[in-house]
Structure 1
Amino acid sequence: MSIRALLTACALILVPAAAFADPTGTFKVTGSNEDATEEYTGTVKVVRTGQTYAVYWTIAGDEFVGTGLGAKFIGDRFEMGPASDDDTAISVGYVSKENFGIAMYFEQPDGSWQGVWTYGGSEKVIAENWTR
């Protein structure tokens, strides 16, 4: 394979990822409850608020509110910090009624976001997906 063909192939791989970066927007959310017997659905809205993200979930009529930090690859390392247009991951702390939790989401090649979450006192990690 020539250098030109290799560079073109690399560019085609990187361009779609760059087009989707940025976790802001409104998404359909799906996940499994803690006991994994039922799936839940709802929406999540992510808004950049200065150097952080405000994250608002609505699931089965309940609202959850979180604050997030951005993350992305810089060269060969992963860096967390202020929210930016090129974030490919988001870490969120959230509150709901009388509890709190943490979550981490990563952008997927198709533009969806996959992650996991847990809440205070839990010994389980639950998967969640966001699609535009």
Structure 2
Amino acid sequence: MNWPVERREFPHRYVAIDASLEQNIQQAFEAGAPDVFAFSLIQYISGIRLSFDFLSDLKRAYPNTLFVADCTQFLGTEAFDFQTSPLDVCDWESCYKWMLSGYGNGLLFIKDACQGKNYIPRS
């Protein structure tokens, strides 16, 4: 998820991925809510997972921020209802495992309310 943002030189910030990840994210939002919050639901390296309760609270507090989640490590691990989730976009970038197998394919779920919107970073 980082490469396209960095490559196109969009303004971006990172938070430390540690045992205080949710607190780190909360503090970053308090310092200035982003237009787009792009994140991995489950961190590939550490396995740290963001809770849907945390994400729901954050989305209620910052409804204008677009929540874009990389769900590669998550989808298929438990029941998931995208429509009732706090996520605006759910992408499964690297379907190299689970039910799709193979390379070069992926899934992108976009809520109806997000379709047709253009997100241009503030300068």
TM score, norm. by length of structure 1: 0.26
Which structure shows the bigger proportion of residues in strand conformation? Answer: 1
TM score, norm. by length of structure 2: 0.27
Rg comparison, structure with higher value: 1
Which structure shows the bigger proportion of residues in helix conformation? Answer: 2
